[in-house]
Structure 1
Amino acid sequence: MKVLVAGGGTGGLCLAQGLRQAGVDVQVYERSRTRIERLQGYRVHINPHGSAALHECLPPDLWQRFVETCGKSGDYRFLTEQLTELLLIEDSLTSGPDAASAHHSASRITLHQVLSAGLADVLHYDKEFVRYEQNPDGTVTCHFADGTTATGDVLIGADGGNSRVRRQYLPHAERIDTGITAIAGKLPLTDEARRSLLPRLVEGPNTIMPPKGCCMFVAPHELGGGVNDETFAHNEVLFDNTQSYVMWAFAANSGRFPPGVSSMDGDGLRDMVSGLIADWHPGLRALVADSPGEAVSLLPIRTSVPPKQWATTNVTLMGDAIHSMTPFGGIGANTALRDAQLLYRNLVEVAEGKRSVLDAIGDYEQQMLVYGFKAVRFSLRNAHQSVSEAKTGRVMFKTVLRMCSVLPPLKRAMFGTHGE
């Protein structure tokens, strides 16, 4: 059996690592011309689902490299915009007993390095997917922009939110704008920055909850002592994964931002956010104001709409290509990794003669549509609640957080699976 994967992102590469370990012929086709062309330099939260998938699909040496290069874990806090603590969720409450069932803070750049390591004969760059055709003999052929083709028994569309595989295969599957915009940035943790930042902003992740209408997420990425690739150690802060940093993301309904926000450069975006949080705690204002403009980005927030069920074939989709979701909840990458783990198991059974291709893919799609769009709905609900203009709802939620703070059983019941 030969498996073709269109897209070399988190899910596609994790799947490729697992299949390669199992001896299955897998080939990944990535449109980027090089490994470093389109990498974003912010942290990504890996939850126990994602950790379990990486542990199962990666070879032992790469799993160890992943663990060593993750940032240090920390307790999660809900804070007001004046940094008054509403609730502390201890890391021990949500993590399992070992690294394979724990939460991790990973650099997107470093995670991509780990996932692509050892795949020189599998991962093909500068291969822009154009279309596919299903052949009379049951195979599928991919056509690329450079005029080349590749033929296999299965095609996995792992080509992101703007998936061309999805556009051809499921033209009815929509991805829509949520009406929410986020501005994200990061501040390198130099000695000077460590002296000036409040400890609570570098001790662990924080959700900042003002009275209404917007929110902010702040999280440190403290390197854990692992070796990072010096390829990225250059002046563009956004692409540097050799230094610890604190990332922040401010989100609000798009109407709260001035016209022309989409054309602003990093300096302009940073200064605009500084104005929007002018009455917040000085520590938060300093975090934003001191962040270099080249590390600030505009992030329109989009989400997938659950598609109608389709007939299973030897073409399927994974990750953002089918269940793109908002970043509110930090579960998008983990859901893609969960896809990879399930597809890996099912396709290995095909290679071993234990089931047919259609049975394996049909079973994957049936499970994926349930947990994938449950995650989509969860993240979308979080997104709308986080930027709600209803002050009453925000007050009620803060009251619940304070109750959890003084009632440990209630906190365990409500937040024992936080981030999953």
Structure 2
Amino acid sequence: MQPLRVLIIGGGVGGASLAHGLQRSGAPVDVKVFEREEHPHSGLHGYRVGISPQGAHALQQLLPEDLFKMFLHTSALPPKHFVMLDQHLDRLLAMNISSVPEDSVKKHDAQLPVDQEHSVSRMNLRQVLFTGLGDSLLLNKQFVRYELHDGGNCTVTAHFADGTSYDGDILIGADGSRSSVRKQLLPDEKVFETGIIALAAKFPLSVLSDKGKSNAPDLPEECQRAVTILVGKNGVGGSLHSMAFRDASQLDAAERDNFKDLLDRCEPSMQSWAHWALWGSEDKFQADIDQRKGKGVMDAAKDLIKQQGWSEGMLRLIELSDPSSAFSIRIKTSEPRKAGWEPSDHGVALLGDAVHTMAPGKGIGANTALKDALQLCNKLVALSSELKCDIDTPVVGPERRKLVKAAIGAYEEEMRGYAYPAVIASRSRMDARGWEHHYPLYSAILYWCMCTLLRLVDRSSGFKELMRRQMIKGRAREEASE
């Protein structure tokens, strides 16, 4: 038997999930994941990622059943409400978005993965995805370049900064928005700045329920377990996300023992917390914003709030945050190609942010990467069968190259079909070219109209239900769910 050797560059959401899917398939595939970070807790930006029902469905098919249960357990309780506040932190709209009974949510009901949004700690998700890969996961591997071999089987070699190299039949670039694999495979493919800068930090979850105590802002009760959007003028916006976690008592003794190491690694991130984010066009920030860390980022956030005339309550919320958790980031996006590219008969392909970097405006980047992983997993499992990797005389030569190119090409065509519209939709929410960033009168009128409309919707249960359904349908369309 000569297994299909798959080299995955990058151990993020898409790359690690693909590795699990290939291992779970039982197909004759030998997979290795090369992660540039030295430690499993290093290198993450951001705190929360929203995994949609469609994303959870893909993850459920890729992960072993017991590990998927750990994904559920280490996730926060799903958001119960969707809330919108104006820049004075006054309520514009609040509605229940949970379609699952509360007791089912807490018990991890079997229908939960496809029926409910999942609020996930980025750190916990990484710990889950790194679990069970064993020797297939190699840390501290900084990818440098790949080398193609034009012999009969058309193999590929990955070279790393430590001087090591690995041979494979397939090489997948899952190495993020600054992908070194993309730079070699598609040198003309660029990632652009949207002109938007975002700031974020964590704060105690209790702040959302203190109702004026401990200098906390007076926020609507629904914010305690919600996705909260902050609407401001001049293109400035923000969000609040609450993260309340379950405890290990809901797992039986065998599960706690089997995953003790994973649960121990996740435990620091499972102390309930929340975080805020603020964003605006780069002209609204200090020239040194990229160099600021910790308290300097929080000072920049407070300056932005004062500059835009936001509520004193938002200033107090920032002051109650953990300075060590604060960071700034420039929002970037891919520029979708008008035409595709020639598939590689050497089996080199891209996945996730490496090929379709998305602004976080729609919150669908991770879910699209999971769909990539599932689609590519299915294609590679089928390819291993077509190449007859389970016998001692697999397909070689021109026929092998033809089959590899067809499998990679089929994946890339499908991926462009659902990912590129998602890139465009995500950029529309975070693009400094919009008039609201540059014309104060236009922005003020837009702000007044939006606030008025949302308050009217908030008074009508019928309109709120219609809006809730449209949000669900719109998210499904953006992900091109099956």
The normalised TM-score by structure 1 is 0.91
Q: Is the counterpart of residue 155 in structure 1 residue 157 in structure 2?
A: no
Q: Is the counterpart of residue 47 in structure 1 residue 52 in structure 2?
A: yes
Q: Partner of 2:287 in structure 1?
A: 259
Within the candidate set 364, 379, 382, 1:346 is matched to 379
Structure 2 CA distance for partners of 1:396 and 1:352, relative to 1, 3 Å = farther
Residue type at the aligned position of 2:327: S
Q: Partner of 1:236 in structure 2?
A: none
Could you say which structure has the higher helix fraction?
Answer: 2
Deviates more, 1:328-337 or 1:155-164: 328-337
Structure 2 CA distance for partners of 1:283 and 1:223, relative to 1, 3 Å = farther
CA distance in 2, matches of 1:29, 1:386: 43
Please give the per-residue CA displacement for 1:280-312, whole angstroms capped at 9, x wherever unaligned: 334332221111210100111111111341100
Deviation at 1:16, TM superposition (A): 0.4
Deviates more, 1:315-324 or 1:210-219: 210-219
Residue type at the aligned position of 2:471: F
Residue type at the aligned position of 1:260: D
Q: Partner of 2:240 in structure 1?
A: 218
Q: Is the counterpart of residue 5 in structure 1 residue 33 in structure 2?
A: no
Q: Partner of 1:205 in structure 2?
A: 227
Larger radius of gyration: 2
Question: Is contact 2:53–2:115 with CA below 8 Å preserved after alignment?
Answer: yes
Question: Is contact 1:326–1:376 with CA below 8 Å preserved after alignment?
Answer: yes
Question: Is contact 2:204–2:274 with CA below 8 Å preserved after alignment?
Answer: yes
Q: Partner of 1:237 in structure 2?
A: none
Deviates more, 1:338-347 or 1:260-269: 260-269
Within the candidate set 318, 321, 334, 2:367 is matched to 334
CA distance in 1, matches of 2:50, 2:464: 25
The normalised TM-score by structure 2 is 0.80
Within the candidate set 93, 97, 112, 1:91 is matched to 97
Please give the per-residue CA displacement for 1:190-238, whole angstroms capped at 9, x wherever unaligned: x5775345334322110000233300111111112248644477xxxxx
Within a 5 Å distance, the mapping from 1:30-69 to structure 2 comes to 30-40=35-45, 42-69=47-74
Q: Partner of 1:106 in structure 2?
A: 120
CA distance in 2, matches of 1:386, 1:401: 21
Aligned-pair identity (%):
35
Deviates more, 1:126-135 or 1:198-207: 198-207
| Secondary structure of the corresponding residue to residue 132 of structure 1 | strand
Q: Is the counterpart of residue 289 in structure 1 residue 305 in structure 2?
A: no
Within the candidate set 163, 175, 181, 2:197 is matched to 181
Structure 2 CA distance for partners of 1:94 and 1:180, relative to 1, 3 Å = farther
Structure 1, unmatched stretches of 5+, are 234-239
What's the RMSD between the two structures over aligned residues? 2.5
Structure 2 CA distance for partners of 1:295 and 1:37, relative to 1, 3 Å = same
Deviation at 1:403, TM superposition (A): 5.0
Structure 2 CA distance for partners of 1:386 and 1:155, relative to 1, 3 Å = farther
Q: Partner of 1:394 in structure 2?
A: 447
CA distance in 1, matches of 2:359, 2:435: 12
Residue type at the aligned position of 2:353: D
CA distance in 2, matches of 1:94, 1:377: 31
Please give the per-residue CA displacement for 1:370-398, whole angstroms capped at 9, x wherever unaligned: 21111111110011369644323334444
Structure 2 CA distance for partners of 1:374 and 1:395, relative to 1, 3 Å = farther
| Secondary structure of the corresponding residue to residue 7 of structure 2 | strand
CA distance in 2, matches of 1:330, 1:412: 16
Structure 2 CA distance for partners of 1:377 and 1:107, relative to 1, 3 Å = same
CA distance in 1, matches of 2:313, 2:447: 22
Within a 5 Å distance, the mapping from 1:132-171 to structure 2 comes to 132-136=146-150, 137-171=153-187
The total of aligned residue pairs comes to: 413
